[in-house]
Amino acid sequence: MADHSIAGAAGIMATAAEGDRSRRARLVVVLLCVGLTIAVLLSLTSGASDASAIGVMHDWLFGALPGDAALSARDRLIIHDIRLPRIIMGVLIGASLAVSGAVMQGLFRNPLADPGLIGVSAGSSLGAVAVIVLGSTMLAPLTTALGTLALPLAAFCGGLATTLLLYQVATRQGQTSVATMLLAGIALAALAMALTGILIFMADDRQLRDLTFWQLGSLGGATWQKIGSVGPVIVLALAAMPFLARGLNALALGEATAGHLGIPVQRLKYTAIVGVSAAVGASVAVSGGIGFVGIVVPHLLRLLIGPDNRYLLPASALLGAALLLLADAVARTIVAPAELPIGIVTAVAGAPFFLWILLRKRGVIDL
Amino acid sequence: MIEARDVSVAIGGKRIVANVDFEARPGEIAAIVGPNGSGKTTFLRALSGDLGYSGEVTVNGRNLSAMKPIEAATLRAVLPQATTLSFPFTVREIVRLGLVGGRSGALPGEDQRLPAPALARVDLEGFAGRFYQELSGGEQQRVQLARVLCQVWEPVLDGKPRYLFLDEPVSSLDIKHQLIIMDIACDFARRGGGVVAILHDLNLTAMYADRIFVMHRGRLAATGSPQQVLSDELIEKVFDCRLKVGVLPAANMPFVLPQSVC
């Protein structure tokens, strides 16, 4: 009798696990934590200089290694002031872009929504370029009042305005039309880029050089000071996103149904839009336009662990961070001693991937 | 009990529903019928809390307009006509979403326990691992039914009055699936739940409804049992076409036969 009930319970457990990908998802999240740690350590030890990261870390933690001659002041400078801020910045931005992509896709109920693709990044860029070019003239009061916060704040406002506008245009009675979303995104991006173009036209030579490099996307300018100004924004936005996960899951069934399930849909939408605009704005402010992270990372993860946002969001943060570190490693080393803008690396890898998604889904995606 | 008194709904300045009185009792199926554009769906959306309205709606004695979404979600579940998905959820993951709002009084681990019996109830055992998007229309609708049952079934078994709103639940389904879905709704009512269903098929309505509300041009044209409501005169007038109503003597059940003018 006892045997029978145990067998029965095991049978029920087996059925209960079917179609439930949460165990696999948790495993993937753990593996991604390990992967990201390895990526961070590799980035710390690799680069144009052969500075010994192990020596430096040992130095921080326990004092200098006995008889360690290699650990020079130069090594310390490279590791602490160049590589480390760059890695932290890469982790923050990779996580922020990937999670923003996943949240936008949940919000628009569409796997093709991406901050870069639908003009949010372009809006952020416009805000940032305005501060860079006009910061010492027309917008001088703003920059003096806000200091280093002016740039991320302007990028945030640009991104927020674009997202709100896009949502208004593309959503009718709770239904988001994909065709309208993509087309409106293209139009808004074009408009933002045109306005950015006017600003660039007004820029002087020094600003111009900064802008060009910045527009292509780069982690090269990462400093502790920049981390201090945008880091908290990104961390806050990322910390808020997991609270949206259940609501975004319900939203997959449609806005009305999400409401019937007890989700406060309006609040969810506005939190998501503000969160994404903050994360993308802050990222764009320091690193320029780094595209395709937000679309590639969540898509790969959905194939692996399914679309449950409770796991998709943290997993996206981890994979986004790791992939951006990898892309940065490629950007730093492929044309060494020069450096490729990281936005070029992500676009070269991401654009074909995007086409592949379209080809795979042809006939399924309802434009 | 759900009680609506003098409910009117206007959308964009246009009055779609006017002065409707309605009630749905635990243990009964209340059917709303009427031609296209008569305001059935708009009225149900107001009852679901999706639309603003004038008048008063109470659910188990509590005012609907004062409820938060999560409070309403503990009292009623809504099955839409059809649900399309943009992400590859499994059947189990969809059914589990019935508990996403955290059903009040739900025990921890219920999202592990409840999907399997809910799927069994809609005759979809063994479907838990399948992808929703790969199922037929009838199977998808049954998965959604399992999801809404997750939301309200257990409290009903505990004797708490809960409600199921069905918006044309069988419109796109074959006759077998129409009966499957309506039998489950009927079972829910027999166990003490209340069902509010918008139906187009008058014969299904006659077979399943305890009480019929006939809507016409935004107003209530008639209300009562199938025997009271389904008459040649009223139905021809409301639907504006030629119909004959007969009665199956054994069950004293009315049936409706459309008449062609061809």
Q: How far apart are CA A22 and CA A304, in angstroms?
A: 11
CB of A12 less than 8 A from some CB of B: yes
Q: Which residues of A touch B69 (CB under 8 A)?
A: 259-260, 262-265
pLDDT band at B199 (very low <50, low <70, confident <90, very high): very high
Nearest CA in chain B to A246: B100
Computed from CA positions of residues B46, B50, B55, B58, in that sequence, does the dihedral angle turn out positive or negative? positive
Number of compact structural domains in chain B: 1
Mean pLDDT of chain B: 90
Q: pTM of the entire structure?
A: 0.86
What pLDDT is stored for residue B238 in this prediction? 92
Q: Which residues pair with B90 in a beta bridge?
A: B131
Closest-CA distance, B238 to chain A, in angstroms, reads 29
**Residues sharing a CB contact under 8 Å with residue A228, sequence separation 6 or more, in sequence order:** A148
Nearest CA in chain B to A109: B86
pLDDT tens per residue across span B121-153: 888 988 999 999 999 988 999 999 999 998 898
Rg (CA), chain A: 22
pLDDT tens per residue across span A250-277: 999 988 899 999 999 888 988 888 898 8
Continuous segment of H or E residues that includes residue A172: strand A171-172
Nearest to A295 by CA among A352, A217, A230: A352
Nearest to A293 by CA among A250, A323, A315: A323
End-to-end CA distance of chain A: 58
pLDDT band at B105 (very low <50, low <70, confident <90, very high): very low
Continuous segment of H or E residues that includes residue B59: strand B54-59
Using DSSP, state whether B62 is helix, strand or coil.
Answer: strand
pLDDT band at A10 (very low <50, low <70, confident <90, very high): very low
- Interface of B to A at Cβ within 8 Å reads 45, 48-50, 68-74, 76-78, 80, 83, 85-94, 97-98, 100-102, 112-113, 115-116, 125, 128-130, 151
Q: Is A86 exposed, middle or buried (0-12, 13-18, 19+ CB in 10 A)?
A: buried
Percentage of residues of chain A with pLDDT beyond 90:
30
B101 with A16: Cβ contact below 8 A? no
Q: Which domain holds residue B183?
A: 2-258
What pLDDT is stored for residue A169 in this prediction? 85
Using DSSP, state whether B178 is helix, strand or coil.
Answer: helix
B72 with A20: Cβ contact below 8 A? no
CA–chain centroid gap for B102, Å, is 22
Q: Which residues pair with B11 in a beta bridge?
A: B14
CATH code of the domain made up of A44-361: 1.10.3470.10
What pLDDT is stored for residue A218 in this prediction? 79
CB of A101 less than 8 A from some CB of B: no
What pLDDT is stored for residue A7 in this prediction? 38
Computed from CA positions of residues A275, A281, A286, A288, in that sequence, does the dihedral angle turn out positive or negative? positive
| CB atoms near residue A190 (< 10 Å) | 12
Q: Which residues of A touch B113 (CB under 8 A)?
A: 16
* Strands B163-167, B76-79: pairing kind: parallel
pLDDT tens per residue across span B49-75: 988 899 999 999 999 999 999 899 999
Report yes or no: B69 and B75 within 8 Å, Cβ to Cβ.
Answer: no
Q: Can you give the CATH number for the domain in which B201 is found?
A: 3.40.50.300
The more confident residue out of A314 and A4 is A314
Domain segments of chain A as ranges: 44-361
User: How would DSSP label each residue in B12-57?
Assistant: TTEEEEEEEEEEE-TT-EEEEE--TTSSHHHHHHHHHTSS--EEEE
Closest-CA distance, B230 to chain A, in angstroms, reads 32
A256 with B128: Cβ contact below 8 A? no
Nearest CA in chain A to B69: A262
Nearest CA in chain B to A298: B87
| CB atoms near residue B107 (< 10 Å) | 10
Q: Which residues pair with A319 in a beta bridge?
A: none
